[in-house]
Chains A and B, each alone.
Chain A
């Protein structure tokens, strides 16, 4: 069942690619249908999930010479991200209706990318995880290099590829270190979690390699420099997937791999993770404040939002002088933030794509007064911006509240430093809304430039889900909380 969900998009991609005569409309509808079926399948999976532990596990030998197997399964950490992946990809499929150059290849690439993202979140073997991690990089490189806009697209794509490939190799080194220390050698996540193999200096070095790999992917300060150019030059759907899903691979790695498999080293160096998180929060917010390019600004707010996640998982490692309950809340908040950020930022990037499509630029000063001419676009963007800055009623508020509440006990100073980040984010979003939508018009767009039905159909569900999770957080928390408690216990042992 799980393998079917993971590999169906890939099969669709392989079928689409050599089918030359297929009209563009049919391609779009096939793409939408496949992503729609995926959403339904994951919902069914969620429905059937027993509430605790791993479900739908499959374990088969794959590269026995290296001790790697095909081991997949879902639990409370991966299920929400799996659902997020299908939703964001479905939104991208709807958004791309009648839009792209070379639609057949574009759809095939996105379907293949969807397989690699889904596979990563269900992988319970380090090598399988690494395989999907690397494939997602290759896929995203092709998206940016092939469909990016702007003269710098190829350069940005190369920077992205080399930088994140370096990260993935660091990750691989860490995985090999973990496996070599285990007796018998294995890459199985469940076995390594049950019996964490490394101690002392070796553990610290392995953690360093794993953290480096995950930090580049997340990205946290100071490894974020690949992110803004990649986002600026990527097509809108590519940006949505990059920010919505690919960044989560890094943070998911923290809770799935780094914390449970290296508990000693994690507890010892949690303070460093907290510091990196706080710096990312503040740095991301301040740099976003200084941007004049709307898409670049949203990209930097991703650094800020991922900083909260890093802060929370770091605080969950500060075991001394804090109670387990609070630390579990922090981890729950981190996972909620991943989902929330995935929904809201994907919506923002899709809207940025609409802006570029109509106006030909991301420069905020080139617009102004758009609220009067394109009211629906203005309304959607305003809702997305308010959701992103953490307005109560949206999922972002639930996430950030839990992160701060959970981290306060173990890292009060860090929380005090991170809180202004929320304020700066609020200021920069409001200022951006001002520049684009209010004041005198400096653009030549008419009412016909407003969002189309397809664009609304892509963006609205993302925002509706953010609202739903903000009003009824139990829908998500019931699944996440047991898993978060399990992670907290694993770190504290």
Chain B
């Protein structure tokens, strides 16, 4: 059975961190909630450090239900780091709020849920991880307790519940078809002889849940409303952390559990990827609110990321490509949200003259937005390049063409935000009180996004190309 509690140390640290933060926050006066923040940051850092010794680990624990392999390791490193960036974005904005602690607790739980999603190698565990990561998201979306926040929370919760039903039903069907086994290894063997229409129904059900989680078509409806309604740090988390976990979960499900000769899932995922990127891009065209624009841009990015899932197990380097893109996307997207948090405005035109007022912030915005386009030499460029290459390698050249056309189209709406920012204006509006740490977070994220392509070099030897069964 291989039961080693210590193998789950990073996950346990996150859980303990969440509980400790909650208890500490409950007993602290409002003026000293920063102690709770420190504990949360400490828990995230500890989780990252605890994941480092297990970098080369390749095994499964607890009756093959949880895999320890490159994908899990990447999730254990990337997701808490993304959580740290979210805390960095949030710190200045939630400090002193009476629900400050709750924000950090929910962030920790969302991070934990996403890590479990990525590592789950068992349909039942996948379902549990799904629920664990869904509930904190709804809480975070409604954290501000205003009208829009309530709408956001309700959307996330109801859509999540609906998609969760699909996931549970699909999982039940697949387990039944697979002869009662729920872990991916034995499930794959069981499904090999199962009737393919029934397997297809089960796969679509499970996929529905994951598509909601990553915000891909048709589970994307909550994304723009939630990002617009929730606070900006919560929006940053909603569009980053669950995507990291959900995409790795989808990759693992297809690469290990569902044989491609039973159900033609590569075609299904490829079509979903094409529709997602196209819809996200074209919906972003008309947006005047930068939050909605970023929200739709994250939908489009998921479309590109799904290309790597579509060739899971068929192209040699699909997993490294997915991981590189995920890392680049996470830091770039969080950088864009950090700029948004440092200069929150309701329309794109309000950014007029940003380059004059706050040149560093404008530079960070330019790097992050051009990075999201995929302009070299940014991290997302490295991701896009590798994902395009593996998709072509896996026989989906048409999808690469669609993605390239989409990339050109996406340039247009990112420029709609950049052009006002770099338009010189005669008068400068009075400088408002500036959140310097936040601006520093933006610039740091943008720097990471800019040089990401170059620093990935030492990572490749660590990323093996297959998953642990």
Contacts from A to B (Cβ < 8 Å): 18, 61-68, 102, 127, 130-131, 134-135, 138, 142, 145-146, 154, 158, 161-162, 165-166, 169-170, 172-173, 176-177, 179-180, 185
Contacts and interface: CB of A to CB of B under 8 A. Distances in A.
A65 B404 contact: no
Contact of A138 (B370, B400, B456): B370
Contacts of B375: 134-135, 138
A465 to B, nearest CB: 32
Contacts of B370: 138
28 contacts: A18-B359, A63-B382, A63-B453, A65-B317, A65-B320, A65-B386, A66-B385, A66-B386, A102-B424, A127-B385, A130-B376, A131-B376, A134-B375, A134-B376, A135-B376, A138-B370, A138-B375, A145-B419, A145-B422, A154-B419, A158-B412, A162-B411, A169-B407, A172-B404, A176-B392, A176-B400, A180-B392, A180-B393
Contacts of A65: 317, 320-321, 324, 382, 386, 456, 460, 463
A173 B376 contact: no
Interface of B: 317, 320-321, 324, 359, 370, 375-377, 381-382, 385-386, 388-389, 392-393, 397, 400-401, 404-405, 407-408, 411-412, 415, 419, 422, 424, 453-454, 456-457, 460, 463
A63 B457 contact: yes
Contacts of A158: 412, 415
Contacts, number: 83
A146 B385 contact: no
A64 B457 contact: yes
Give the most central of A18, A61, A66: most B CB within 10 Å.
Answer: A66
A450 to B, nearest CB: 32
Given A169-B408, A180-B393, 14 more contacts: A63-B382, A64-B460, A65-B386, A127-B376, A127-B385, A134-B375, A138-B375, A145-B419, A146-B422, A161-B415, A166-B408, A169-B405, A172-B385, A173-B401
Contacts of A166: 408
The 9 A-B residue pairs with the shortest CB-CB distance in the complex, in nearest-first order? A131-B376, A169-B404, A66-B386, A65-B320, A180-B392, A166-B408, A64-B460, A65-B386, A180-B393
Given A134-B375, A173-B401, A63 B408 contact: no
B419 A179 contact: no
A63 to B, nearest CB: 5
A62 B457 contact: yes
| Chain A, interface SS category | helix
Given A63-B385, A65-B317, A172-B404, A165 B397 contact: no
A439 B377 CA distance: 54
A471 B32 CA distance: 81
Nearest to A70: B454
A20 to B, nearest CB: 9
A43 to B, nearest CB: 29
Max count, chain A CB within 10 A of own CB: residue among B389, B407, B456: B389
Q: Which of A65, A145, A162, A173 has the most B CB atoms < 10 Å from its CB?
A: A65
Contacts of B382: 63, 65-66
A176 B453 contact: no
Contacts of B404: 169-170, 172-173
B392 A165 contact: no
B23 to A, nearest CB: 43
Nearest to A163: B408
Contacts of B388: 172-173, 176
Contact of A177 (B392, B408, B411, B424): B392
B395 to A, nearest CB: 10
A150 to B, nearest CB: 16
Nearest to B409: A162
A172 B453 CA distance: 17
Contacts of B453: 62-63
A363 to B, nearest CB: 28
Contacts of B321: 65-66
A176 B317 CA distance: 14
